[in-house]
């Protein structure tokens, strides 16, 4: 073995598991040196985690134990890096974390949390903004770092690129520059996204959009919007046939877009942005179609709007049903996913072609930069780069599942327990019972993991009305 070139050993190691590599390393001193080569272990590391884990101390007991000070030769760099990463994943597997309560909201205002980088957290509780250092036990660095209009509730918080943070209060949008050390944060710009502009500048085809009317049948109770790194698209509460398009970087209004359906009883009902940075947005519209057996049928139209070119793409799909809530939609450039009660249809919206139709019992979700869903009892992965599908794991899949981070999927089995699947180079199934520690696997809509998978925040209600707790789980 020692006479083989390292390139051949690397090729052989591709067919060996981590357990096999460890066993080979334990055979003798020579094999230990051969199978500890950087080229062998580098392929088992997640490259985006390497620098962070190498430069960040662990705070979760028991600490990380490296064997570099043993009588044997020191561990090479990439094997040490693998040990660090594996220690992180072991903490996930064993539900070994430190939990800290950051803030409790017992008021009527909304509760929000968002990571800044990996070790800082912005929280909003009862319309109070706080900025936290969460490297170890959370420390509040700044109270009320933003000069907001506190006569309005804070409805949404979004982190933008270049250290910017965006707050939405009713229709008021404010963008600030984040600073770890100074307060108040500098205001970049603010605007009311539903403010009207001259029709000759913004209307479609020279037609002036109608202004608000108290007796307008299309008035909605709430507004809705999406935020990307460059654009803000929103529909105001007063008039749901009008879409407002803004450039977040400049604070400039780009266009007012009228609902493309000519039926006066039509309106926008949803806006979705692509997972990766894109200027394409998915727009849903709805119109009353016809009555059948005294039941009103609804026609749903799916469009893609490009905010850079300020135009609709040629793609359009239409569905008819008694309620449009039967459909779930998602965009991930260049694909649109439309899930009905039975099937998932996948389209390439740039070519207006149907790519796949598959039976599906779950909505499509993003996992490791691709789309996964449950079809015929299996997890299916759709590769957004190649357009190909494959079975993600050999384990059985159920319709209700939760993505814990880039490596783990949890799903409910019954009222007493659930399963966790580890997906990737190492495939493993964990059977878990409900307990205070394991229940955090099932956090979905009110939880988020930081980009390094070392921390997770959870917003939970502990049984008391209007009482929400923001907690940070530290796995590193």
Look at residue 375 and tell me whether its pLDDT is greater than 90.
yes
Total number of domains constituting the chain: 3
Give the C-alpha separation, 73 to 75, whole Å. Answer: 7
Tokens 């460890």 appear where?
A: 22
Is residue 286 included in any domain, yes or no?
yes
259 and 384, same domain (yes or no):
no
Note whether 307 and 233 are within 8 A (CB): yes
- Cβ within 8 Å of residue 437, ≥6 positions away: 95, 97
Look at residue 240 and tell me whether its pLDDT is greater than 90.
yes
Q: Beta-strand (E) ranges in 280-427? A: 280-292, 295-306, 311-321, 328-332, 335-339, 343-348, 353-359, 365-367, 370-375, 378-382, 389-391, 401-403, 408-412, 417-422
Give the C-alpha separation, 9 to 320, whole Å. Answer: 59
339 and 374, same domain (yes or no):
no
Is residue 1 included in any domain, yes or no?
no
Per-chain mean pLDDT for the chain: 87
Count of CB atoms within 10 A of residue 28's CB?
12
372 and 294, same domain (yes or no):
no
Return the SS3 of 101: strand
pLDDT at position 158, please?
Answer: 96
Question: Which has more confidence, 232 or 275?
Answer: 232
258 and 113, same domain (yes or no):
yes
Backbone angles phi and psi of 214, in degrees to 5 = -70, -30
Each residue's pLDDT tens digit, 39-90? 778 888 999 999 999 999 999 998 887 765 555 567 789 989 999 999 999 9
371 and 322, same domain (yes or no):
no
Look at residue 215 and tell me whether its pLDDT is greater than 50.
no
Cα separation values, 435 from 80, 191, 398, 417, Å: 33, 46, 21, 9
371 and 359, same domain (yes or no):
no
Give the C-alpha separation, 419 to 453, whole Å. Answer: 20
Give the C-alpha separation, 430 to 410, whole Å. Answer: 9
pLDDT at position 205, please?
Answer: 44
- 133: its two tokens: 């250092």
Give the predicted TM-score (pTM) of the model: 0.87
Each residue's pLDDT tens digit, 188-205? 999 999 998 755 554 544
Structural domain harbouring 424: 365-444
């Amino acid at each position: 073995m020692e006479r083989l070139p390292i390139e051949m050993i690397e090729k052989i190691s591709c067919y060996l598991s981590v357990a096999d590599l460890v066993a080979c390393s334990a055979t003798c001193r020579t094999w230990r040196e051969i199978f500890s080569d950087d080229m062998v272990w580098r392929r088992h590391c997640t490259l985006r985690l390497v620098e962070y884990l190498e430069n960040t101390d662990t705070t979760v007991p028991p600490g990380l134990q490296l064997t570099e000070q043993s009588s044997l030769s020191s561990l090479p760099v990439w094997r040490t890096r693998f040990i660090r990463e594996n220690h992180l994943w072991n903490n996930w597997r064993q539900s070994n974390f430190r939990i800290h309560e950051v803030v409790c909201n017992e008021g009527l205002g909304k509760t929000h949390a968002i990571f800044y980088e990996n070790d800082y957290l912005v929280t909003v509780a009862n319309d109070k903004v706080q900025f936290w250092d969460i490297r170890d036990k959370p420390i509040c660095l700044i109270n009320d770092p933003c000069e907001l209009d506190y006569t309005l509730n804070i409805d949404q918080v979004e982190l933008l690129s270049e250290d910017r943070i965006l707050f939405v209060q009713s229709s008021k949008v404010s963008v600030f520059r984040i600073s770890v050390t100074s307060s108040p944060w500098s205001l970049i710009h603010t605007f009311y996204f539903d403010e009207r502009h001259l029709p000759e500048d913004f209307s479609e085809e020279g037609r002036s959009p109608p202004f608000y009317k108290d007796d307008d049948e299309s008035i909605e109770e709430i507004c809705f919007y999406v935020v990307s790194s460059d654009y803000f698209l929103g529909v105001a509460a007063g008039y749901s046939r009008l879409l407002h398009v803004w450039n977040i970087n400049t604070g400039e209004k780009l266009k007012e877009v009228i609902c493309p359906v000519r039926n006066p009883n039509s309106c926008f009902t949803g806006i979705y942005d692509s997972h990766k940075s894109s200027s394409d947005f998915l727009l849903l519209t709805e119109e009353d179609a016809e009555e059948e057996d005294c039941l009103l049928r609804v026609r749903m139209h799916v469009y893609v709007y490009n905010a850079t070119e300020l135009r609709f793409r040629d793609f359009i799909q239409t569905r008819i049903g008694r309620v449009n809530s039967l459909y779930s939609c998602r965009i991930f450039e260049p694909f649109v996913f439309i899930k009905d009660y039975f099937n998932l249809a996948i389209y390439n919206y740039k070519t207006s072609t149907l790519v796949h139709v598959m039976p599906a019992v779950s909505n499509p979700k993003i996992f490791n930069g691709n789309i996964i869903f449950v079809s015929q009892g299996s997890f299916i992965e759709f590769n957004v780069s190649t357009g190909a599908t494959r079975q993600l794991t050999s384990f059985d899949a159920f319709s209700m599942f939760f993505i814990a981070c880039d490596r783990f999927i949890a799903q409910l089995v019954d009222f007493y327990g659930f399963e966790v699947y580890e997906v990737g180079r190492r495939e493993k199934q964990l059977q878990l019972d409900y307990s205070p520690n394991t229940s955090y696997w099932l956090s979905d809509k009110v939880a988020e993991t930081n980009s390094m998978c070392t921390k997770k925040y959870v917003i939970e209600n502990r049984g008391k009305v209007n009482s929400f707790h923001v907690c940070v789980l530290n796995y590193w």
